[in-house]
Amino acid sequence: MPYKFPGLTGIFTLRLITVTILAALAATITGQPSHTGSYDIVKYSVSIKVNDTTSHITGTAGIRVTAGEEASAVILDLVSVNSDGTGMTVDSVLKGGMQVGFTHQDNRLVLPAPAGDTTMTAEYRVYYNGIVGDGLIISTNMYGDRTFFADNWPNRAHHWFPCIDHPSSRAKVDLTITTPSHYQVIATGLLQKRINLPGNRTAHYWSSSVPVPTKVMVFGAAPFAVEYNGYIDSIPYSNWVYPQNHVEGLASFSATPGILRFFTDLLGPYPFEKVANVQSTTRYGGMENAGNIFYHEEAVAGERDLEYLIVHEMAHQWFGNSLSESDWPHLWLSEGLATWLTDWYYKQKHGEQALRQRMQNHRQRVTGHANTRLAPVVDHHPERLTDMLNPNSYQKGSWVLHMLRRKIGDELLLEGIVKFYNAYQFGHACTEKFMNVLEEVSGTDLEEFFDDWLYSAGHPVFSKRTSFSNGRLTMELVQTQQHKMAFTFPLDIRFIMEDGSEQDHTFDIIFRRHEFVIDMPSSPVEIILDPETWLLYEQR
């Protein structure tokens, strides 16, 4: 998922659910696809022609669909022409090489269903054109050069080609991008061929054999300085930066080989055909497009150390791209896992104490956000999908995994993460499926834990009072948050005595109010809650 810069970005299936065309046309894009049906997109073959003077594109989209007899139509997302003149006009549609009727309104393109009594494959070809208003960003870069960068997250791909614009749908993709010849083009998959055309134009043919969701299905066209670095363990590796800052730009990606090897050792084989780092005009600090990661142009050109941004985006190649969330409320399975994997990388490089400081910083972000908008991590009611790019999805998601380290141990947590990935690779999953895998691996009932930290809003907020008398310390600890009666967790408390000695105690917190009586030789001079940074909480 996208990584913001600066700073630290129910099971749904498109198969075997019948829906009427009328219901689909009545819906609006709110992040929930309205076009469920007994069909699936297998492959897109998208051809786009761009020019040097306008934001008008000409497009052709080949769409291969598998469908069952229940399918009454094939319904795709494609933006309609808006009042400002932006949007796409469909000129014609072919099905099996024959022209067919269609409807295109309210951002929905409705095509006739495949005919047949059994599951079958149909080939559609959609011819369209229009002025791009979003999704494909046609602009000038920081040096004034004209550029074209697809920027699809969360569901903006339908602004430039017809698709099912939802993370639960994935397909293979061919991209043919025809540009004036002074541009170079990077895209999803591998370059198959480049053809020089009359009129000083070039067609660039890219193809991906790996199915990906539309949110990470992209191309970029710009004047690039391209560095081809051979292979990282058989994976082609390249960097694409602006010529004006190519020295510092190429140097900023130097950590990539080590990061890729770290994750292949931890999670398994890299899932895509190549690794390409791309300087771009993305609205995010980094956008984890499958096999070609787009980084904000100023981050690449500046003096910022990109190592941990590269780590985050590389982690997304496994979680977010190869395994996607089944629906937007489960975004933390992309962003939280990528954030935690970045933290885990940080721990391996700098040690546990450095990780604790990082988690304390995360905790401040999470508690601050809760005071602004109180919502669960699995949030079914964001006002906008982009609102989910918040500390709940990123830092709190990482905190959930950090607390699971304590609950089930490092070894079982890592085993569970890998098993979850292998079970749903090149597919999608929801939070419940993740919980089920961890329960199976650990033999631990995690329902209460997931309810507290993912399905409930907020976090524990403590107040405490202490008194000392006759060799005994009495401590009253109260959870004061108003939105939830009580969270359940182990709480470590460190008591520091006047002579510098320490006493550590762990208490199982179950109720809203607890009172503890502890034998001590004298009154402690300091009481530290959670000294080893294992708990997401706030003390007031």
CATH, residue 80: 2.60.40.1730
Query: What's the confidence (pLDDT) of residue 6?
Result: 36
Whether residue 278 lies inside any domain: the answer is no
Mean pLDDT, rounded, for 407-422: 98
Does residue 34 register a pLDDT over 80? no
Whether residue 273 lies inside any domain: the answer is no
| Three-class SS state of 108 | strand
Q: Do 450 and 471 share a domain, yes or no?
A: no
Q: Lay out the sheet containing 275-280: strands in order across.
A: 225-232, 235-241, 275-280, 292-296, 286-287
Whether residue 469 lies inside any domain: the answer is yes
Nearest C-alpha neighbor of 288 from the set 216, 340, 232: 216
Confidence of residue 17 (pLDDT cuts 50, 70, 90): very low
Whether residue 242 lies inside any domain: the answer is no
Q: Do 350 and 367 share a domain, yes or no?
A: yes
Among residues 231, 263, 289, the one where a domain terminates is 231
Nearest C-alpha neighbor of 341 from the set 425, 287, 405: 405
Give buried/exposed letters for 219-228 (b at 16+ CB in 10 A, else e): bbbbebbeee
Phi, psi of 488 (to 5 degrees): -115, 130
Whether residue 13 lies inside any domain: the answer is no
| Three-class SS state of 77 | strand
Q: Do 479 and 410 share a domain, yes or no?
A: no
| Three-class SS state of 415 | helix
Confidence of residue 304 (pLDDT cuts 50, 70, 90): confident
Neighbours of 208 (CB within 10 A): 23
Q: Do 206 and 108 share a domain, yes or no?
A: yes
Q: Which helix (H) or strand (E) holds 390?
A: none
Whether residue 349 lies inside any domain: the answer is yes
Q: Do 124 and 95 share a domain, yes or no?
A: yes
Q: How far apart are CA 523 and CA 504, in angstroms?
A: 14
Judge whether 202 and 196 are in contact, CB under 8 Å: yes
**Burial of 342: CB neighbours in 10 Å, binned 0-12, 13-18, 19+:** buried
Query: To 5 degrees, how large is the angle CA 188–CA 192–CA 195?
Result: 115
**Could you tell me which residues are beta bridge partners of residue 172?**
43
Q: Do 158 and 219 share a domain, yes or no?
A: yes
Does residue 116 register a pLDDT over 70? no
Q: Do 426 and 466 share a domain, yes or no?
A: no
Whether residue 362 lies inside any domain: the answer is yes
Q: Do 518 and 399 share a domain, yes or no?
A: no
Computed over every residue of the chain, the mean pLDDT equals 92
Q: How far apart are CA 163 and CA 302, in angstroms?
A: 36
Q: Which helix (H) or strand (E) holds 200?
A: none
Mean pLDDT, rounded, for 413-433: 98
Q: Which helix (H) or strand (E) holds 272?
A: none
Among residues 409, 430, 455, the one where a domain terminates is 455
Confidence of residue 509 (pLDDT cuts 50, 70, 90): very high
Where in the sequence is the domain holding 349, given as residue range(s)?
324-455
Confidence of residue 29 (pLDDT cuts 50, 70, 90): very low
Confidence of residue 179 (pLDDT cuts 50, 70, 90): very high
Neighbours of 379 (CB within 10 A): 21
Query: What's the confidence (pLDDT) of residue 38?
Result: 78
Can you give the pTM of this predicted structure? 0.92
* % of the chain at pLDDT higher than 90: 88
Q: Do 89 and 219 share a domain, yes or no?
A: yes
Q: Do 337 and 443 share a domain, yes or no?
A: yes
Among residues 398, 427, 455, the one where a domain terminates is 455
User: What one-character DSSP code corresponds to residue 68?
Assistant: -
How many domains, in total, are found in the chain? Answer: 3
Does residue 348 register a pLDDT over 50? yes
Q: How far apart are CA 35 and CA 287, in angstroms?
A: 27
Q: Do 394 and 525 share a domain, yes or no?
A: no
In angstroms, what CA-CA distances link 277 with 7, 280, 309, 492? 20, 10, 12, 43
Does residue 120 register a pLDDT over 90? no
Confidence of residue 117 (pLDDT cuts 50, 70, 90): low
Per residue in 514-529, pLDDT tens?
999 999 999 999 999 9
Whether residue 2 lies inside any domain: the answer is no
* % of the chain at pLDDT higher than 70: 92
Q: Please report, for the domain that includes residue 518, its CATH number.
A: 2.60.40.1840
Does residue 190 register a pLDDT over 90? yes
Alpha-helical (H) ranges within 216-255 are 246-251
Q: Do 474 and 424 share a domain, yes or no?
A: no
Q: How far apart are CA 540 and CA 537, in angstroms?
A: 10
Confidence of residue 405 (pLDDT cuts 50, 70, 90): very high
Per residue in 239-279, pLDDT tens?
999 999 999 999 999 999 999 999 999 999 999 999 999 99
Q: Please report, for the domain that includes residue 415, its CATH number.
A: 1.10.390.10
